[in-house]
């Protein structure tokens, strides 16, 4: 039976309230001490952190402010997570860049994002892998509908409301799968949706884990600790 993962709304809303409090403190500090970061500032930061040029170019081409609520848009290019409603967030840019670099999506033909939220990462993927078919699975109907509207002009992006399963097994297999919320363990159902030589990048607890398959068997697993995500609960 397909495993069901549900967003932990209680934890997510507490996390969103924490972010709002943090945002208020950050904004006050920024107004007193320095200017709020612009897109140019963020791009320079990503370059200085050593991210590859194709990753930075995608961030340059996509306007993050389109994917956050109006009250958050003044902080669109700060390197912080921002609330998008329903207890969910869009991750901080450096975390997204790190996950995209691990994913290596440029030559993929089919890519899935689980927990596609506002659609920001889908847009970045569309810039990096312009010839790929890119799928988003989102458990919250309102976010799925909102992101479809924002990304309506991108014909290679397909967003699905998927409340009863993890991933989109009926559309697999996928060369690359990216998960944008934290699981308690590597989701077995997503491993089965990977192509025989595919790559999965998924937060697990407070780490980001990269799983690579070779000839339809798990070949390598690498763990990168030190991250915080809105959780998924089985």
pLDDT of residue 205: 87
pLDDT of residue 151: 97
Mean pLDDT over residues 72-87, rounded?
92
CB 116 within 8 A of CB 90: no
The number of angstroms, rounded, from the C-alpha of 145 to the middle of its chain's C-alpha atoms is 17
pLDDT of residue 68: 95
Domain boundaries 6-233, corresponding CATH code: 3.40.50.150
pLDDT of residue 184: 87
CB 37 within 8 A of CB 78: yes
- Rounded alpha-carbon distances, angstroms, from residue 84 to 80, 111, 211: 13, 23, 28
Q: Residue 30: is its pLDDT beyond 60?
A: no
Half-sphere exposure of 138 (CA within 13 A, CB side): 24
Taking the C-alpha atoms of residue 64 and residue 62, their distance in angstroms, rounded to an integer, is 6
Mean pLDDT over residues 128-151, rounded?
96
- Helices marked H in the chain: 9-33, 39-48, 53-61, 93-103, 120-128, 141-150, 188-193
- pLDDT tens for 97-131 read 999 999 999 989 999 999 999 999 999 999 999 99
Residues with Cβ within 8 Å of residue 10, at least 6 apart in sequence: none
Which among 91, 118, 126, 147 is annotated as catalytic? 91
- pLDDT tens for 1-27 read 333 333 333 444 555 555 556 566 555
pLDDT of residue 181: 83
Q: Residue 196: is its pLDDT beyond 80?
A: yes
Token pair belonging to 224: 């990168």
pLDDT of residue 19: 58
Could you tell me whether strands 133-138 and 157-161 are parallel, antiparallel, or unpaired per DSSP bridges?
parallel
Token pair belonging to 74: 């003044």
Nearest CA among 83, 71, 96 for reference residue 15: 83
* 65 counts as catalytic: no
Q: Where are the domains of the chain?
A: 6-233
- Rounded alpha-carbon distances, angstroms, from residue 110 to 52, 134, 136, 194: 21, 6, 11, 10
């Amino acid at each position: 039976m397909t495993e069901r993962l549900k967003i932990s709304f209680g934890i997510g809303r507490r996390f969103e309230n924490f972010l709002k409090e943090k945002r208020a403190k950050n904004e006050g500090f920024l107004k007193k001490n320095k200017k709020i970061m612009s897109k140019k500032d963020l791009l320079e930061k990503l370059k200085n952190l050593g991210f590859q040029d194709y990753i930075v170019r995608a961030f340059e081409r996509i306007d993050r402010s389109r994917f956050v609520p109006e009250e958050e848009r003044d902080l669109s290019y700060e390197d912080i997570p921002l609330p998008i409603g329903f207890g969910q967030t869009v991750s901080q840019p450096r975390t997204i860049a790190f996950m995209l670099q691990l994913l290596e999506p440029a030559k993929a033909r089919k890519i899935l994002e689980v927990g596609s939220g506002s659609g920001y990462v889908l847009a970045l993927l569309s810039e990096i892998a312009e010839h790929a078919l890119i799928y988003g699975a989102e458990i919250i109907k309102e976010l799925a509908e909102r992101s479809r509207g924002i990304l309506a002009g991108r014909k290679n992006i397909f967003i699905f409301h998927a409340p009863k399963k993890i991933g989109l097994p009926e559309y697999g297999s996928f060369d690359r799968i990216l998960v944008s919320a934290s699981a308690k363990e590597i989701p077995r159902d997503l491993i089965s949706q990977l192509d025989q030589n595919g790559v999965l990048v998924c937060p697990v607890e407070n780490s980001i884990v990269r799983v690579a398959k070779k000839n339809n068997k798990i070949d390598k697993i690498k763990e990168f600790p030190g991250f915080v995500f809105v959780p998924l609960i089985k």
